[in-house]
């Protein structure tokens, strides 16, 4: 019997990606997709790509019957989920939040980075960080999953084998990451206008990006100690895709970095370690839940360079959320996610 699933905030890019994936999921029945501003409007009118696949109309959250669902996804701006999650958990609903409301464990730290007080700090410790390649067993029994951010997914998957092996200096990790404009969401803003973002390339958030504490928290958990991380994001004139170029200095001899990565991810369906000398491209993962990684040691020196690419809307958001749903309900982890990347 299929599980009943609701989506809060179905009008953004992550919302439509969830709809695309869940509409074909054999174990899911879509029950509700909410939007206050577009309540009553057929989903296919807003997203013609879903015509014939999603027959629902958007509903007002108050009338959506979310408490009757088995699982609810929040594809909403930061600060929304934390207002509604406690009541859903009390009703026995499992929740996956694609925003940042439950990613950080420290409520004070969360307030510092997101500019508001947390509405339910008592749930921060209970929430499981939804990176399956690290927290798979905890996700299986979770009631509340904090789906990782897009940059944090690409960066953490790239660094984890080095940190677990204890072969790099944890005080000087560097993540240089680039994202397509869909990472900024569907809202209209000047910096994502075609005339502003096209034929252009720029860094932003150098002084401190909201994903920095999330990445640092995750890597510190893997290392069992604090790590020093410099994270610089960039905006590229792409629609989809993240490319993270990661740098670390070796503090111990590692005979075969390639084997280290291949062995770490040998049983991970959605992490592909490319052959030695490869350079992964964002288009090689477009519209898929795959992370492709290549590891380099330029000139045989003491600096490791890791290249990590994902689709920010799939493995960086909706696809990973469905991966977490599968774990939470005992489905095959790849159910609904066997997606061949789109090329060109």
Identify the active-site residue in 120, 150, 254, 291: 150
Nearest to 322 by CA among 182, 145, 167: 145
Whole-angstrom distance, CA of residue 173 vs CA of residue 1: 47
Rounding to the nearest 10 degrees, give the CA dihedral for residues 221, 222, 228, 231. Answer: -100
Query: Does the annotation count 335 as an active-site position?
Result: no
Q: E strands, 274-315, where?
A: 291-296, 303-310
Give yes or no for a contact between 128 and 135, defined as CB atoms under 8 angstroms apart. Answer: yes
53 is written with which tokens?
A: 């696949």
**Would the CA dihedral through 279, 266, 19, 121 be positive or negative?**
negative
Give yes or no for a contact between 59 and 37, defined as CB atoms under 8 angstroms apart. Answer: no
Give the single-character DSSP code of 250: B
Burial class (CB in 10 A: 0-12, 13-18, 19+), 201: exposed
Whole-angstrom distance, CA of residue 260 vs CA of residue 171: 21
Q: Specify the residue for token string 């994502």.
A: 192
Whole-angstrom distance, CA of residue 10 vs CA of residue 16: 6
Positions marked catalytic: 150
């Amino acid at each position: 019997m299929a599980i009943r699933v609701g989506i809060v905030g179905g009008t953004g890019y992550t919302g439509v990606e969830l709809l695309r994936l869940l509409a074909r999921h054999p174990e899911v029945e879509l029950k509700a997709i909410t939007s206050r501003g577009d309540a009553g409007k057929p989903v296919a009118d807003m997203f013609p790509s879903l015509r014939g696949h999603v027959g629902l109309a958007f509903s007002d959250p108050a009338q959506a019957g979310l408490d009757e669902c088995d699982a609810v996804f929040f594809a909403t701006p930061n600060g929304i989920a934390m207002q509604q999650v406690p009541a859903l958990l009390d009703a026995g609903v499992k929740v996956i939040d694609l925003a940042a409301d439950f990613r950080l464990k420290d409520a004070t730290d969360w307030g510092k980075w997101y500019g508001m007080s947390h509405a339910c700090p008592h749930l921060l410790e209970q929430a499981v960080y939804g990176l399956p390649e690290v927290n798979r067993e905890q996700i299986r029994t979770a009631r509340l999953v904090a789906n990782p951010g897009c940059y944090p997914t690409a960066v953490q998957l790239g660094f984890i084998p080095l940190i677990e092996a204890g072969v790099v200096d944890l005080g000087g990790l560097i993540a240089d990451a680039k994202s397509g404009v869909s990472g900024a969401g569907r809202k209209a803003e000047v910096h994502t206008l075609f005339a502003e973002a096209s034929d252009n390339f720029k860094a932003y958030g150098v002084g401190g990006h909201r994903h920095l504490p999330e990445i640092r928290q995750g890597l510190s958990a893997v290392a069992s100690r604090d790590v020093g991380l410099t994270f610089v994001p960039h905006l590229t004139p792409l629609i989809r895709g993240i490319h993270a170029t990661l740098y670390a200095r070796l503090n111990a001899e590692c005979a075969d970095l390639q084997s280290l990565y291949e062995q770490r991810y040998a049983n991970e369906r959605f992490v592909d370690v490319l052959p030695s000398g490869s350079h992964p491209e964002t288009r090689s993962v477009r519209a898929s839940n795959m992370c492709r990684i290549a590891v380099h040691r330029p000139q045989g020196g003491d600096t490791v360079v890791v290249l990590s690419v994902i689709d920010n809307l799939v493995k960086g958001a909706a696809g990973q959320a469905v991966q977490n749903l599968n774990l939470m309900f005992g489905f095959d982890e790849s159910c609904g996610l066997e997606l061949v990347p789109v090329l060109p």
